[in-house]
Structure 1
Amino acid sequence: MSATRIVVFAKAPQPGRVKTRLIPALGAEGAASLAARMLIHALSEALLSGVAAVELCATPSPADAAWRGVELPDGLVLTAQGEGDLGARMARAAQRVIEAGEAVLLTGTDCPGLDAACLRRAANALCETDAVIGPTADGGYALLGLRRFDASLFEDIAWSTPAVARVTLARLDALGWSRTRLPLLHDIDEPADLVHLPAGW
C-alpha cells in the first residue's frame, strides 16, 4: 500500500432527514444544525490528520441540491455513496480504494472523539496490521480501517445495532487477519449521548 485514504460517509444535513433520534431533544432544525457541525468537524479533523487523501462519500450525490449552501472544507475528493444498504455502500467504497492501491479508513460523522490524532493512530496501525477498528459504546464502530478487502465484513450485518462491532471483529478473526482495536469512543445518536459532545458545542 502506497498511501491511506480517509473516506467519510455522510448525509446532507437536511432537517428531518438527519439525526432523527435527536429531534425530540433538539427539534428538526437543531438536529440538522448539529449534524452540519459534526460533518464539518469530521472533515476538518480528517484533513488535519495529514494522513493522505480525504474523500467525502455523500448521500445524496454531492451534485444534488441538498448540498447547496453546505460550506465544505477545501481539499476534499467528492464522491456519491450510490445505492444499497450501508454495508453495500461501504463495501463498494472500500473495494474501490483498496483495488486502486491504497489502504482505507472508513469513518462517519457521528463521533466527535474521532479526531486527527485518532486517525493518525489508525493509519499507523494499518502499517502493521490488516485491519483497525474504532469501537463505540453503543456496540458499533466509528472507524474501520482495511488494507485488504473481503465482502464478508459488510454483508448481512444488522447496522445500527449493538452487534455491529462484535460481528465485524468475529469476521476479521475468521479471515485470519491481524487487527488493531482502538480505545472505545462515543457516537452522538440519542439524546442521552449529548453529554459526550465536546465543550462549546
Structure 2
Amino acid sequence: MRAEPPRIAVLAKAPLPGRAKTRLIPALGAAGAATLHARLLRRTLAVARAATAPERLTLWTALDHEHPLFIELAEVHGITLAAQQAGDLGRRMHHALAAEAGPGLVVGSDCPVLTPALLRDCWAALAEAEAVCLPAEDGGYGLIGARESDPALFEGIDWGSASVMAQTRARAAALHWRLACPARVWDLDRPDDLVRFAAREDDGP
C-alpha cells in the first residue's frame, strides 16, 4: 500500500435549484433536489477528508464558484477550492487529475456507498495498476484514478450512458494500461435510487 495518503479531487456543481440533480426533480422538486445534492456533497467531503490530509484534497467547483456551501466546506475541512475547466465531463476530470503532482483520484458527489477505506483501497491499487475505477451498476463509474492522467482515457466516451465503463476499459486497453476495479458501487441519480438511499442506516431520511 502507498505510504502517503491519497490525492483526491472532488468535482461538484453548486447546489442551485434547477441545475443540480436534475433527474431527481420529478420526485423532489428543484429545491429538494438541490438540497439533496448539498447533503451528498457534505457527505462526500467528510468521507474524503477521513481518507486523506486536507492539503491533498481539492474541491473542483462548477456553476457558482463562490457559492456559500463551497466556502463553508473549504473552511470546515481546510481544503483547496479550484474552478472546473470548461468542457465535457471527461475534459474536466482529466484537468483535475493532471493538476495533481503525481497519482490522483477523482470522484463526484453522488456515490452514497463511498467510504474512506474504499478510497484508500483505490489509492493502493495504483501501486500495481496505471489506472483505477469503481464501476457503477448503471454502466458508469463512481471513481477514476490514474498514476498520470492521459486525455485519451476520457476521449470518445458517451457520458451519462450505460456504456461509460465499457468504453473506459477500451480506452485503458488502447493505452496498454492495467485497470484495477476494487469494488462495484451505485450512484444516486434517479428517483428509484431514493428508496435505496433512505434505507441506509447512516443516511436515513
Q: For residues 15-94 of structure 1, what are the structure 2 equivalents within 5 Å?
A: 15-50=17-52, 53-60=56-63, 62-63=65-66, 67-69=67-69, 71-72=72-73, 73-94=76-97
Alpha-carbon separation, structure 1, partners of 2:43 and 2:143: 15
Contact 1:6 1:53 survives alignment (8 Å):
yes
Contact 1:131–1:179, Cα closer than 8 Å, also in 2: yes
Cα 1:69–1:105 change in 2 (3 A) is closer
Q: 2 CA distance for matches of 1:181 and 1:74? A: 28
Q: 2: distance between equivalents of 1:69 and 1:171?
A: 35
Are 2:5 and 2:52, in contact at CA under 8 Å, matched by a contact in 1? no
Aligned residue identity for 1:42:
T
Q: Distance in 2 between matches of 1:117 and 1:164?
A: 25
Corresponding position of 1:177: 177
- In structure 2, what is the Cα distance between the partners aligned to 1:80 and 1:130? 26
Of the three residues 13, 32, 35, the one matched with 2:15 is: 13
| Deviates most, 135-144 or 177-186 | 177-186
Change (3 A) 1:14 1:61: closer
User: How many angstroms does 1:3 deviate by?
Assistant: 6.2
The root-mean-square deviation of aligned C-alpha atoms, in Å, is 1.8
Structure 1: runs of 5 or more not aligned: none
Task: Name 2:160's counterpart in structure 1.
Answer: 160
Partner of 2:134: 134
Q: CA deviation at 1:83?
A: 1.0
TM-score (norm 1): 0.90
Distance in 2 (CA, whole Å) between partners of 1:171 and 1:84 is 19
In the superposition, relative to structure 1, how do residues 86 and 79 fare at CA in structure 2: closer, same or farther (>3 Å)?
Answer: same
Percent of counterpart pairs with the same letter? 44
The answer as to whether partners of 2:105 and 2:145 remain within 8 angstroms in 1 is: yes
Counterpart position of 1:118: 118
Q: CA deviation at 1:112?
A: 0.9
Aligned AA for 1:50? T
What residue is the counterpart of 2:188 in the other structure? 188
**Does the Cα contact within 8 Å between 2:11 and 2:106 map onto a contact in 1?**
yes
Which of the two has greater helix per residue? Answer: 2
Instruction: Give me the whole-angstrom Cα distance separating, in 2, the residues matched to 1:75 and 1:103.
Output: 21
In the alignment, residue 154 of structure 1 is paired with which amino acid?
F
Q: 1:50 offset after TM fit, Å?
A: 2.4
Correspondence 1:95 to 2:95: no
Question: Following the alignment from structure 1 to structure 2, what is the Cα–Cα distance between the partners of residues 69 and 150?
Answer: 31
Contact 1:3/1:103 (8 A) holds in 2: no
Aligned residues: 195
Tell whether the 8 Å contact from 2:49 to 2:77 is kept in structure 1 after alignment.
no
Confirm or deny: 8 A CA contact 1:132 1:180 kept in the other structure: yes
Q: CA deviation at 1:94?
A: 1.5
The one-letter amino acid of 1:79's match is A
